[in-house]
Amino acid sequence: MERQRQPFTIVWFLYLLLSVGLAQADDRSKTKTRTAAPILSSLSPATGLQGQTIALNGTNFGSRKGKIIFGSSQLTEKSITSWTSTKVVTKIPKGTGEVSVQLVTSSKLSSNKLKFKYGSTDTGPGPGPGTGSLSNFKVLANNDLGMHCVDDDFSVFSILPPYNVINAQVIAQDSAGKPQLLPKDAVILRYSPIPDANNSINSHSKGKSNFWDMVPGSNKTYAESLFGANLADGQGLKNLYMPADAPNSANTTFGWSEPLGLFAAEGIPILPIDDTGAPNPYPMLRISAYDAKNPTLELAHTDVVVPVSDETTCSNCHATGKVAANSQSVAWSISPNLSVQSRTNVLLLHDQNQGTSLTNQQPVLCASCHYSPALDLAGTGPGATQQGHKWMSQVMHDFHSDKMADVDGKTLYDNAAPVAGLDPSLNGVPPADQQSCYQCHPGTETKCLRGAMTASVTCQNCHGNMEAVGGAHAMKNYGPTNQQNVVAGQTRKAWSDEPRCQSCHTGDAVNHMTPAGATLASDGIRLMTSFDKNDPSASPFLAVNKRFAENDNKLFRFSKGHSGVACEGCHGSTHAIWPGDSEHPNDDIAAVDLQGHAGTVSECNTCHKPGSLPLTTGGPHGMHNVGDTRWALDEDRGHPAFYKQSPNECKACHGNDLKGTALSRVAADRAWQTEWGSKSVKKGQTVGCYTCHNGPNGG
């Protein structure tokens, strides 16, 4: 019997081994190919209205667009603005009540569900217009300067306190799809912390600066001793706080700037240190708009960089033993804190040269004697003591202008790029540590000037050298910003007589300035310097063609353009014009949120309902409809008809030969349907008649 069962037993055993092996191999195969399911962690906002932008946050979304299931609505990839592995941005579809939201990846994996609640568009009784039946809300927000500076220590002297500014506007569409700017009593704007792509978050100021600490041997804090402000820990000079320090929401709420006619959060005491203690000069804040009559209903938000640097330094020259602190006749500071050491040495040198006793009066506010418009929060002008001294900017720049030849054996450059003889890969732009401005301003680590223009210019291309900034020479009569009150022999006023956009962007491809002493850029349209290079005052040119000009008598950061939208709302902050450079990705986040790609906000559909605009060249700077297929196809109303009526208007951007110029570059990949089929161009490519035709009149 046993001999009869043996073959069966062996065969059975072999079968079992084979089955187990196949199962294990199958399990290993499944393990290798199994993809983690997507996880939804939050909806932002979780309550809102149809047409608003909404962000789905989480993990494992994949890199390719999938689907969003929004109640009974299924949103396909065409309606999804952006999709990354951790964040999806889209628009809220029609709906009412409370619905579930679920994400499905391109590989058909489904996420968990989160609840979303539709808000009511009924504004109800009460004062103010509310938001009524408006939809598709957008927040345009930006830091006003592109970089704010703050002292890294307040125990010796102070130049600038913790003080940042964000300006904002809110746009919505009416029932016809027409956009309108919302007035101050329609919405409430607040700011909150948001992590950046590196998970760096900045939510508080407490413990990050000695600004709120007590002065040793005194009953005052440094804030009160320097600025006369009796502040609570973390409180800013205008009663704003960082969100985690704020006593209530009013301390993180925007006010209304009557001079600018927009929302402004003035005096946010943000510091360049994140909540882990790591340095981050490009922190993010979320700017959210709420219905004034339903303050819990978030209408829209935009995430913006709020740049701040404490790299304003004197240590390159004034640290003990360096060129400005090596005289044997002075007992220089031996403090182990480099900032305290170099700042103390500055006071010692000032006492020696000017006969003062500042070393015994610490902490010292430099602006108490040397007027600074940046610290004149009331706008009252120089006080009695200040009137006997040069302004802060004048004395600092003019005094140091002949002392910037070299540092630590490196040649310093105090002239506009391009500089001959430099490494060609630098485009004639000196390295950051050899630029005179960056010896004091942010800086060799933190870039004050960054973004679209940094590959080809330095500070001096716009502002002139340090002597010019210091007001050592009388300006040309076209130089002062306020052309209504030009005085013969007037020297530059800090913070007001600044370069203009129109000083380099002097017009279009048909009509622009080429003044003597100026250098044209390679595109043949723009200037490489904002002033005559033979003019020691560096007075900014005043263009005749106003296509790219600011408002008369105003700086770029105070100007408005298309339908009252702030110039910075579409172009980005001064000194950080969109698109940002690769080293500073936080700068581009707001533009991407608004229109789906980096760069100047140029997509009409950012504010206008698709297809609602007539075919026109009435856009900003005379632009025609962007991304509108009718402009390409409509023979009677589109570009063919317009060219026949106004050929010079087309040439203004596309060039006299109509082959395209720098002014007709596309900001993103585009495709059009034409009578000859589909035509596509890549981001950065110039567009002209020859892009699709054999010529302006060809077939």
CA distance 268 to 143: 11
Is 416's pLDDT higher than 90? yes
Q: Residue 545: is it exposed, middle or buried by C-beta count within 10 angstroms (0-12/13-18/19+)?
A: middle
Task: Please report which confidence band the pLDDT of residue 666 belongs to, taking 50, 70 and 90 as the band edges.
Answer: very high
Task: Please report which confidence band the pLDDT of residue 469 belongs to, taking 50, 70 and 90 as the band edges.
Answer: very high
Q: How does pLDDT run across 378-415, given as a tens digit for each residue?
A: 899 999 999 989 999 999 999 999 998 899 889 999 99
Which of 371-385, 442-456, 538-552 bottoms out in mean pLDDT, i.e. has the lowest?
A: 442-456
Task: Count each helix (H run) and each strand (E run) in the chain, helices first.
Answer: 12, 27
What pLDDT sits at residue 34? 63
CA distance 89 to 72: 19
Task: Please report which confidence band the pLDDT of residue 331 belongs to, taking 50, 70 and 90 as the band edges.
Answer: very high
What are the residues facing 169 on neighbouring strands?
A: 140
Q: 345 by DSSP, 3-state: which?
A: helix
Which pTM does this prediction carry?
0.83
- Interval 432-453 mean pLDDT: 90
Instruction: Please check whether residue 491 is in contact with residue 473, taking contact to mean a CB–CB distance below 8 angstroms.
Output: yes
Q: How far is CA 181 from CA 34, 263, 617, in A?
A: 49, 11, 21
What pLDDT sits at residue 557? 96
Please report which helix (H) or strand (E) contains residue 274, including its range: none
Cis before 540? omega within 30 = no
- The candidate with the shortest Cα–Cα distance to 165, out of 215, 245, 81, 237, is 237
Task: Please report which confidence band the pLDDT of residue 631 belongs to, taking 50, 70 and 90 as the band edges.
Answer: confident
Which of 111-125, 127-141, 573-587, 589-603 bottoms out in mean pLDDT, i.e. has the lowest?
A: 111-125
Mean pLDDT (the chain, rounded): 89
Instruction: Please check whether residue 358 is in contact with residue 350, taking contact to mean a CB–CB distance below 8 angstroms.
Output: yes
Is 542's pLDDT higher than 60? yes
DSSP labels for 199-255?
-------TTS-GGGSBPTTSSSBHHHHHH-----TT--TTS---GGG-SSGGGGB-E
Task: Please report which confidence band the pLDDT of residue 16 belongs to, taking 50, 70 and 90 as the band edges.
Answer: very low
Task: Please report which confidence band the pLDDT of residue 616 belongs to, taking 50, 70 and 90 as the band edges.
Answer: confident
Largest Cα separation within the chain, whole Å, is 125
- The candidate with the shortest Cα–Cα distance to 319, out of 399, 408, 405, is 408
Sorted by sequence, the CB contacts under 8 Å of residue 626 that are 6+ apart come out as 602, 603, 604, 619
- Enumerate domains of the chain plus CATH numbers: 39-118 (2.60.40.10), 613-691 (no CATH)
- Interval 584-599 mean pLDDT: 93
DSSP labels for 360-386?
GG-SEEGGGTS--GGG-TT-----TTG
**CA dihedral of residues 335, 341, 344, 349 (deg, nearest 10):** 120
What pLDDT sits at residue 4? 44
CA distance 310 to 535: 33
Q: How far is CA 94 from CA 188, 525, 529, in A?
A: 24, 47, 51
What pLDDT sits at residue 235? 98
Task: Please report which confidence band the pLDDT of residue 50 belongs to, taking 50, 70 and 90 as the band edges.
Answer: confident
- Interval 54-74 mean pLDDT: 91
Is 319's pLDDT higher than 60? yes
Tokens 């996420």 label which residue? Answer: 111
- Interval 272-294 mean pLDDT: 96
- What sign results for the dihedral spanned by CA atoms 257, 262, 268, 271? negative
What pLDDT sits at residue 400? 95
CA distance 279 to 446: 10
Tokens 């004697």 label which residue? Answer: 369
- Interval 664-693 mean pLDDT: 88
- Interval 562-582 mean pLDDT: 94
Percent of the chain whose pLDDT exceeds 90: 70
- Interval 595-619 mean pLDDT: 91
- The candidate with the shortest Cα–Cα distance to 599, out of 665, 547, 508, is 665
What pLDDT sits at residue 129? 54
- What sign results for the dihedral spanned by CA atoms 46, 106, 135, 300? positive
Q: How far is CA 136 from CA 73, 101, 174, 426, in A?
A: 18, 19, 9, 44
What pLDDT sits at residue 29? 44
Q: How does pLDDT run across 479-528, given as a tens digit for each residue?
A: 999 988 788 889 999 999 999 999 999 999 999 999 988 889 999 999 99
Is 123's pLDDT higher than 70? no
Please report which helix (H) or strand (E) contains residue 70, including its range: strand 67-70
Is 127's pLDDT higher than 50? no
Can you read off the two tokens belonging to residue 296?
């819990």
Is 622's pLDDT higher than 80? yes
CA distance 244 to 26: 52
Task: Please report which confidence band the pLDDT of residue 698 belongs to, taking 50, 70 and 90 as the band edges.
Answer: low
Q: How far is CA 373 from the centre of its chain?
A: 23
What are the residues facing 678 on neighbouring strands?
A: 673
- The candidate with the shortest Cα–Cα distance to 254, out of 283, 300, 288, is 288
Is 676's pLDDT higher than 80? no
Q: 292 by DSSP, 3-state: which?
A: coil
Can you read off the two tokens belonging to residue 587?
């700068």
Q: How far is CA 519 from the centre of its chain?
A: 28
What pLDDT sits at residue 611? 86
Is 7's pLDDT higher than 70? no
Instruction: Please check whether residue 587 is in contact with residue 575, taking contact to mean a CB–CB distance below 8 angstroms.
Output: no
What pLDDT sits at residue 540? 96
Tokens 């060609």 label which residue? Answer: 424
Is 199's pLDDT higher than 50? yes
CA distance 608 to 172: 9
Tokens 């339903």 label which residue? Answer: 294
Can you read off the two tokens belonging to residue 614?
């007539």
Is 2's pLDDT higher than 50? no
DSSP state of 36: P
Sorted by sequence, the CB contacts under 8 Å of residue 412 that are 6+ apart come out as 404, 405, 406, 434, 435, 436, 439
Q: Are strands 87-91 and 364-365 parallel, antiparallel or unpaired?
A: unpaired
User: How many residues appear in the chain?
Assistant: 699
**What secondary structure, in 3-state letters, does 196-208 show?**
CCCCCCCCCCCCC
Is 124's pLDDT higher than 50? no
Is 565's pLDDT higher than 90? yes
Is 5's pLDDT higher than 50? no
Instruction: Please check whether residue 565 is in contact with residue 181, taking contact to mean a CB–CB distance below 8 angstroms.
Output: yes
Q: How far is CA 117 from the centre of its chain?
A: 32
DSSP state of 412: P
- Interval 322-334 mean pLDDT: 95
Task: Please report which confidence band the pLDDT of residue 266 belongs to, taking 50, 70 and 90 as the band edges.
Answer: very high
Can you read off the two tokens belonging to residue 459?
């500070």
Instruction: Please check whether residue 513 is in contact with residue 541, taking contact to mean a CB–CB distance below 8 angstroms.
Output: yes
CA distance 269 to 310: 13
What pLDDT sits at residue 46? 84
Q: How does pLDDT run across 232-246, given as a tens digit for each residue?
A: 999 999 999 999 999
Sorted by sequence, the CB contacts under 8 Å of residue 676 that are 6+ apart come out as 692
Instruction: Please check whether residue 240 is in contact with residue 266, taking contact to mean a CB–CB distance below 8 angstroms.
Output: yes
Q: How far is CA 155 from the centre of its chain?
A: 31
